[in-house]
Structure 1
Amino acid sequence: MLKKLRHIAKRVWSRRRVKALLTLAVLFLVLNLAFPLKIRPRYSTVITAADGTVLHAFLSDDDKWRLVTELDEITPVLQKTILHKEDNYFYYHPGFNPVAMARAAFRNLTTGRRTSGASTITMQVVRLLEPRQRTYTSKIVELFRALQLELFYSKEEILQLYLNLIPYGGNIEGIKSASMLYFGKPPQLLSLAEVTTLAIIPNRPSSLRLGVNNARIVQERNRWLNRFRKTDLFTPEAIADALSEPLTAHRRAMPSRAPHLARRLKKQYADQPVIPSSLRPNRQAQTEQLVTNYVGRIRALNVHNAAVLVINNQTMAVEAYVGSADFANRYDGGQVDGVRAVRSPGSTLKPLLYALAFDKGLMTPKTVLNDVPTNFSGYEPENYDRQFYGPITVESALANSLNVPAVKTLQQVSTPNFVGCLQKAGFETIKKQSKDLGLSVILGGCGVTLEELTRLFAAFANGGQFADLNFVATHQPDSPKKSHLVSAEAAFLITNTLTQITRPDLPNNFDNSYHLPRIAWKTGTSYGRRDAWSIGYNQRYTVGVWVGNFSGEGVAELSGANIATPLLFSIFNAIDYNSARGPFRMPKNLSMRQVCAETGEVPGEFCEHKIVDYAIMGVSPYRRCQHQKAVWTNAPGTVSYCAHCLPESDGPVQRFYPNLAPELIAFYESRRIPYLKIPPHSPACTRVFAQQGPQIVSPNDGSEYFINPQQPQQLQLSCQADNDVKQVYWYLNDKLYQKAAPTEAVFFRPQPGALKISCADDKGRNTDIRILIRAE
């Protein structure tokens, strides 16, 4: 009977226990739904380098140094030390330790005061997340929150939270913050002595202040190390080394490299506490130092700033990012990000223009263009040195950065096509300006950034393939997605031209210098000498350099060649000196052919001087050279004949004369450069010539001119005529105004109203234009 009663009692007790447990579980679930656990620590933003080292750190939004300690930064030494000191049974209890709580309650009740606590690491995390007054009610809430933590988070994550939130005095929280600020290194590099030091501070952050009470801290540290030795937590050798290690902790500044990129990434990834950048710490430090030293040297010229971007061509990762020479220099605008500042590009867009011209079959590197004064509907560009060089090849025009050939090329390519290509290459300001851009865009009449220009030149290094830049480190092995910008053949031709060193934009004192890196590069100087550019690349890297003043102040000595390029060369010599990689390989669709040296076209019957040129098969033009033409003259060569008036007697002689463009003839005449002229046509000839008449280059057809009626200005009449034209006749509103030589400048005083201007040559050919004169 007694056994039966015991059995019934056990069953009743078992049911009640199960019922109680179920009730508690339901109650916990209800409370969990009513009071959900919200863990949202406000961490500091940390920018790391590609190797994981800290580049830059920001205060949290509540002005705390609270750096995230990642799981892989919690070393076994750190974990064993913290658990032994704070919570030996961390991996065994459900968030609270009943034994420790009972022991603490007994001691507190018997002594009448609080002599020991029973908080586990989990309960301390709750207290750090939700600070409360130390009461029994608060303890109950902490127990509930601790159970929630244990339910939803792993032990490793709870330990990580604890290490991220423990206080170290002032505005320093978390072991990584303390490690960086007091020891200058991340937690995984701490020694046993340093780990023990940081383990004891949170209990007494006011009295044990690192850098202030180091002697007292050493005593407390050694006391704990001896306790570790008694429990065999670490080997005797490790303890002995830790006891003898001096404490040199003091308050340091947080790392602050790449401040411009750090702020950019912080804004872009606002909710991410750790942002892994693509920067290489050594590369960044090298570049920052080179920029600082260089700007210090040129400050005497009234040039105060520079910006540099270094790109890895294979991955398109940005390995160095320097926005200004000194971020802390507010006087010179040090906080302006020169990598993203919109500036005038000068001549740096010319390589893309000529690459497009090669792809469209308009020209080849040896094609000859005329660098002569030219009026493009009122726009009259001139070269940097205010000189003109006459006939010049495309590659020489690019290497010498001549302006008139570039504008002529843009006229052939068309501004919309060129601007469209720039838009495809990600030039954001040009997208906004596209409707207002004209021929001046190729000479810097637009807005670009150093980032956009450097990314463009990286496309030449990658065989014409364009890709976005990577500012954040990725673990994907795939190569960046690339799109076709120009052909590989055109990119090679541009690279081949830009690797030449016999060019005017080679910096002073770099001729025949071993300091000259093996790179392709292009310089640029904006109007008013406000911006100096130099962009260079080899197979591994593309480096963009801008030098100038953020205030926009121009400097007479500022130029891409002599100011920006020395810094470019220094950076390449630092990051890739004597690169083992060879030159760029010539694409298969690129061939070599002989061309006439006079025009760059396929040799004709008159071409005696031939040179070798590149040609894109199936694309490059195939025109027979006609740089000379046959003319019948009399024996002395004083009169020329056409087929209509060729005499049957007197033995006419066929001679060859240069087939010069009218603009080139005008240039030769204005500079008094001798050339072989075609003799005057036979006066006995009655043939009417059907060819085009003189080209009126001033004034501009269809333009409006404003004059002051009280002091009317003079307008110039000028034209370009064929080689054999000796005289032209100017007409105003069909009335003869003056006869003159084709190259002679004629002036007149206009009156308000519509005006028809005509020019006829001595062959009877005529050209008309119309302009409008308005009174101001």
Structure 2
Amino acid sequence: MHFSFPTKRRSAEATLSTPPSRAPRWRWPLFPRPLRFAALSIAAVALVVAAAGLTLEITKREIGALPLDAAEAASVTVLDRENRLLRAFTTKDGRWRLPLDVSEVDPRYLAMLMAYEDKRYYEHSGIDILAFMRAGYLLARHGQILSGGSTLTMQVARLLEGKHERTGAGKLRQIARALQLEEQLSKQEILRLYLRLAPFGGNIEGVRAASLAYFGKEPRHLSAGEAALLVALPQSPERRRPDRNSEAARHARDRVLDRAVEEGVLPKSEADRAKNERIPKQRLEVLKLAPHLSESEVAAHPAKLIHHLTLDRDIQAAVEKLAAEQTKLLGPKLSAAVLVVDHATGEVLAHVGSAGYLDSDRLGAIDMTDAIRSPGSTLKPFIYGLAFEQGIAHPETLIEDRPTRFGTYTPENFDEDFHGTVTIREALGNSLNVPAVKVLAAVGPGRLLGRFRRSGITPALPANAQPSLAVALGGLGMTLKDLAALYAGLARGGEPIALSWLRDEPKPATHPKKRRKLLSPVASWYVTDILKGAPPPPNVKGGAIAYKTGTSYGYRDAWAVGYDGRHVVAVWVGRPDGASTPGLMGRLSAAPILFDTFTRISERRTAFRSAPSGVMKASGSELPQPLKRFRESGDDAIATGPFLDPPVLISFPPDRSELDMEEREAEPLILKAEGGVLPLTWLIDGNPVTSDPFRREITWQPEGRGFSKLTVIDAKGRVDRVTVRLR
């Protein structure tokens, strides 16, 4: 269209003196060119608005309800105890779309977004008429699109639809959707949809996924330059992808920074510094911490989008790295598993299922925290704990480490040597096998496994098999989680607790009422006092951690489990396929990982529990006669002569002791005698007890609470009596 302009103006007199021959005609030259363009723009916008108003109801009926279901298809995320990301999974169509709230984004990003995309966002109702007028004016004046009229609401409408139609009908559809959004959702809810759905190149959608993929950080920690880049990318996500076209990304970011200065969002000095920030040249890997636990929880609860775990991301990352590094040093095909537990609450702080989830040579996809393996010598502390509890041993009690046969079973020490007379402290601290089997023969393997079961742990035995003395050296199956739970109970003074790793579920009770403790507080303290002095691995200072190692038969599994006053760490090292690895031992392979893990939890150790009432701190010579030397089965058969015929004594329960019947449930008491000449006769409150007179222990089921007098008489008429209180 062409317009002509007059070369000179007619005088007012001439205009007034010459009557018009026809009605005057309105002509463009009466307005300057800029106003003409403005008028055209306003008219065009008015026509669009009028058309939208006339057809809006028809369009709404055509497009139907808002497709909000599309926005719900977010990535499943797994969060740690402080809501930090541990693991994320793509949506079904392979996109990274992480949930995000407006409050979780850096305020400068939101300010720049509004300044650049929609500065009247909180004022309009989905359509910014002034922005349309400005866009129309610039289009008419320059002949090309220099400014868009789309609001953030319209952009969200387009993202929900999944298509960008540049036709008039497509724009009208966006307007109708935008009005629908404003009618049904708040401004914060619409903004939340934008933060989740905005495209950032490739399969990245949403500000959080983009911030993690390009900067490796959560969007609440963005710098000014990073925030500006994320504002710029959705306008042309593929052309401006920083990992493919860093210069285009830089120019787009700088334009956003310039606009931020114009709108007063940033001072010019800060914008200039932001322009010097590096543009990322590649995408980062999305976090994949705790892969085994994350995948198992997602599989167990497929309907949940967000899974809250008790893990600590910093500890988890540090222990995963440690397990991978240390296992590579140990040899090929070896894997490792580590659990870190807060034994005050039972919460799992780190769960490492293998030395590398994607390491196929080490079968890294197998979660070895749940694998049933032989625990080696790691159960010995509980064997001695039962002996302490039953009053038949003390840490300073002497025991013989000599060749011994139990029927057809002849245990040997790991070093294939025997050490003669040692204390129980030395036997447990140095993990001697023969003394442990002797003590287990006295307390009974069935009783040991019964304690485990009542504390929530069920060991694995072959079908129809009964527990045997081989249990002392690992002759059953347990998982790393089982051992962590058992040692957590030991660290708690004998009070068992279930492990938990789901933060949004009720915490388990320590143990139901009337449930028997794993060990008594006194026995637990004795065991802890011994394990604190266990020889540490080479180049490590001991004393701050109570720990025990174990090596299964054939060098298949190496274990180390330990605790301080707050945490339990359990470590397994071996081959997931169960193959033997010569030289693999708990003290040299698993214990270094254990001690290093404690260092990564905290440089300082938490103090142990103080000694409970009833602890007997005495040297061997100061112990009562029955506790000076451990009496083994068969001692009576060889006890001949006047000097080997000691008087009969009741070794358990001790005189004037108190027994908590509520903790013992309906389990009978075991009464034990030492010395004397068989047969023995037992009396309870003066009444004979039916029992095998040629055994030194009997079972007694008390009928109620109160005081009772226990009496034992040997074949020579010698008598010993104790009084106990049942409460």
TM-score normalized by structure 2?
A: 0.70
Correspondence list, 1:153-552, <5 A:
153-299=185-331, 304-367=334-397, 376=406, 378-387=408-417, 393-427=423-457, 430=460, 437-473=467-503, 481=510, 484-501=517-534, 506-507=536-537, 509=538, 515-552=541-578
| CA distance 1:498–1:256, change in 2 (3 Å) | same
| CA distance 1:264–1:126, change in 2 (3 Å) | same
| CA distance 1:369–1:622, change in 2 (3 Å) | farther
1:150 equivalenced with 2:182 (yes/no): yes
8 Å Cα contact 2:392/2:630 also seen in 1:
no
1:386 to partner: Cα distance: 4.1
| Rounded Cα–Cα distance in structure 2 between residues aligned with 1:540 and 1:164 | 40
| Rounded Cα–Cα distance in structure 2 between residues aligned with 1:523 and 1:205 | 55
Q: Deviations over 1:247-294 (max 9, x none)?
A: 345322223333333333433454444444433344334333333332
| Rounded Cα–Cα distance in structure 2 between residues aligned with 1:47 and 1:527 | 38
User: Which residue identity is paired with 2:542?
Assistant: L
| Rounded Cα–Cα distance in structure 2 between residues aligned with 1:461 and 1:36 | 55
1:521 to partner: Cα distance: 0.9
Corresponding residue for residue 66 of structure 1: 97
Q: Deviations over 1:180-229 (max 9, x none)?
A: 11122221121222211111111112221213322232223223322332
User: Which residue identity is paired with 2:358?
Assistant: A
8 Å Cα contact 1:123/1:143 also seen in 2:
yes
Correspondence list, 1:364-763, <5 A:
364-367=394-397, 376=406, 378-387=408-417, 393-427=423-457, 430=460, 437-473=467-503, 481=510, 484-501=517-534, 506-507=536-537, 509=538, 515-577=541-603, 579=605, 581-592=606-617, 594-595=622-623, 600=628, 618=657, 626=675
Corresponding residue for residue 45 of structure 2: none
| Rounded Cα–Cα distance in structure 2 between residues aligned with 1:99 and 1:211 | 36
| Rounded Cα–Cα distance in structure 1 between residues aligned with 2:656 and 2:271 | 76
| Rounded Cα–Cα distance in structure 2 between residues aligned with 1:214 and 1:614 | 80
| Rounded Cα–Cα distance in structure 2 between residues aligned with 1:532 and 1:474 | 34
| CA distance 1:589–1:154, change in 2 (3 Å) | farther
| Rounded Cα–Cα distance in structure 1 between residues aligned with 2:432 and 2:341 | 28
User: Which residue identity is paired with 1:67?
Assistant: L
| Rounded Cα–Cα distance in structure 1 between residues aligned with 2:655 and 2:583 | 40
8 Å Cα contact 2:551/2:585 also seen in 1:
yes
Higher fraction of strand: 1
1:243 to partner: Cα distance: 3.6
8 Å Cα contact 2:390/2:653 also seen in 1:
no
Residue correspondences, number: 595
| Rounded Cα–Cα distance in structure 2 between residues aligned with 1:239 and 1:111 | 29
1:349 to partner: Cα distance: 1.6
Counterpart secondary structure, 2:594 = helix
8 Å Cα contact 2:498/2:508 also seen in 1:
no
8 Å Cα contact 2:261/2:267 also seen in 1:
yes
1:138 to partner: Cα distance: 5.2
1:232 to partner: Cα distance: 2.3
Instruction: Judge which range, 115-124 or 347-356, deviates more.
Output: 115-124
User: Which residue identity is paired with 1:58?
Assistant: F
Corresponding residue for residue 697 of structure 1: none
8 Å Cα contact 1:286/1:574 also seen in 2:
yes
Instruction: Judge which range, 283-292 or 33-42, deviates more.
Output: 33-42
1:522 to partner: Cα distance: 0.9
| Rounded Cα–Cα distance in structure 2 between residues aligned with 1:591 and 1:622 | 20
| CA distance 1:605–1:146, change in 2 (3 Å) | farther
1:351 to partner: Cα distance: 1.7
| CA distance 1:243–1:575, change in 2 (3 Å) | closer
8 Å Cα contact 1:46/1:67 also seen in 2:
yes
| Rounded Cα–Cα distance in structure 2 between residues aligned with 1:543 and 1:64 | 37
Counterpart secondary structure, 1:542 = strand
Corresponding residue for residue 43 of structure 2: none
8 Å Cα contact 2:121/2:151 also seen in 1:
yes
8 Å Cα contact 2:397/2:630 also seen in 1:
no
| Rounded Cα–Cα distance in structure 2 between residues aligned with 1:518 and 1:156 | 52
Task: Return 5+ residue gaps in structure 2 as ranges.
Answer: 1-52, 632-641, 647-651, 660-669, 679-692, 696-727
| CA distance 1:35–1:529, change in 2 (3 Å) | same
Q: Deviations over 1:570-590 (max 9, x none)?
A: 3334444453x4443110233
Instruction: Judge which range, 429-438 or 345-354, deviates more.
Output: 429-438
8 Å Cα contact 1:601/1:624 also seen in 2:
no
Counterpart secondary structure, 1:254 = coil
| Rounded Cα–Cα distance in structure 1 between residues aligned with 2:231 and 2:694 | 93
1:92 equivalenced with 2:131 (yes/no): no
Counterpart secondary structure, 2:110 = helix
| CA distance 1:96–1:341, change in 2 (3 Å) | farther
Corresponding residue for residue 700 of structure 1: none
Identity %: 34
1:602 to partner: Cα distance: 11
User: Which residue identity is paired with 1:88?
Assistant: K
| Rounded Cα–Cα distance in structure 2 between residues aligned with 1:546 and 1:127 | 53
1:121 equivalenced with 2:152 (yes/no): yes
Counterpart secondary structure, 1:349 = helix
Counterpart secondary structure, 1:471 = coil
| Rounded Cα–Cα distance in structure 2 between residues aligned with 1:123 and 1:556 | 68
| Rounded Cα–Cα distance in structure 2 between residues aligned with 1:451 and 1:397 | 26
1:540 to partner: Cα distance: 2.4
Counterpart secondary structure, 1:320 = strand
1:492 to partner: Cα distance: 0.7
User: Which residue identity is paired with 1:168?
Assistant: F
| Rounded Cα–Cα distance in structure 1 between residues aligned with 2:247 and 2:567 | 51
| Rounded Cα–Cα distance in structure 2 between residues aligned with 1:480 and 1:155 | 44
User: Which residue identity is paired with 1:311?
Assistant: V
State the Cα RMSD in Å: 4.3
| Rounded Cα–Cα distance in structure 2 between residues aligned with 1:177 and 1:359 | 56
| CA distance 1:221–1:52, change in 2 (3 Å) | same
Q: Deviations over 1:686-716 (max 9, x none)?
A: xxxxx989xxxxxxxxxxxxxxxxxxxxxxx
Counterpart secondary structure, 1:321 = strand
| Rounded Cα–Cα distance in structure 2 between residues aligned with 1:540 and 1:556 | 35
User: Which residue identity is paired with 1:534?
Assistant: A
| CA distance 1:500–1:110, change in 2 (3 Å) | closer
Instruction: Judge which range, 272-281 or 595-604, deviates more.
Output: 595-604
Task: Return 5+ residue gaps in structure 1 as ranges.
Answer: 1-20, 608-612, 630-658, 660-690, 694-776
User: Which residue identity is paired with 1:496?
Assistant: D
8 Å Cα contact 1:517/1:578 also seen in 2:
no
| CA distance 1:143–1:456, change in 2 (3 Å) | farther
Corresponding residue for residue 634 of structure 1: none
Counterpart secondary structure, 1:310 = strand
TM-score normalized by structure 1?
A: 0.66
1:171 to partner: Cα distance: 0.9
8 Å Cα contact 1:57/1:255 also seen in 2:
yes
Higher fraction of helix: 2
| CA distance 1:89–1:420, change in 2 (3 Å) | farther
